[in-house]
Amino acid sequence: LVLLFFLDALTAGLFVVLLRVEVGNVGMFAALLLAGSLGLVAATTLIAAIIARASVKGALFAVLSFPLLAPLLVIAIKGTALALEGAPWARGLAPLQVLLAYTVALFTASLFLFGSVWEA
């Protein structure tokens, strides 16, 4: 989790500096980055537990993770676009709330399912 946050901050920083992108709402950009990272962690941890004993892990991970990660990425992209154009918090709060709700739902499902999936 810490490594993912570090890589996110590094990648976002390099993106902003090297492409000379002006972030209109830095706070919203950082909040979306954090919420998206947490959602990514919640989704991929559960998928990794499901495929831990499979023989073709790479292909299975891609197939199983796509339905869980697609909504997360779409909302994160829309929210990031709002943050880059400098939208006010009132307008950018909806994508952030959806990201956080999706993350909480995935995390809760992971808590309930991880034990039974890992022992199967």
Tell me the CA distances in angstroms from 110 to 11, 48, 61, 77, one per residue in order: 27, 11, 16, 24
- Band the pLDDT of 1: cuts 50, 70, 90: confident
Residue whose C-alpha is closest to residue 70's, from 48, 94, 45, 102? 102
User: SS3 string of the chain?
Assistant: CHHHHHHHHHHHHHHHHHCCCCCCCHHHHHHHHHHHHHHHHHHHHHHHHHCCCCCCHHHHHHHHHHHHHHHHHHHHHHHHHHHHCCCCHHHHHHHHHHHHHHHHHHHHHHHHHHHHHHHC
Indicate the pTM of the whole model: 0.88
Mean pLDDT, the chain, integer: 92
| The total number of structural domains that make up the chain | 1
The reported pLDDT for the residue numbered 117 is 79
Counting residues of the chain whose pLDDT is more than 90, the rounded percentage is 71
Which structural domain range is residue 6 located in?
Answer: 2-119
| Better-predicted residue by pLDDT, 53 or 32 | 32
Query: Are the C-beta atoms of 117 and 51 separated by less than 8 Å?
Result: no
* pLDDT tens-digit map of 47-102: 888 888 788 888 899 899 999 999 999 999 999 999 999 999 999 999 999 999 99
Residue in this structure with the two tokens 């209109």, named with its chain if needed: 24
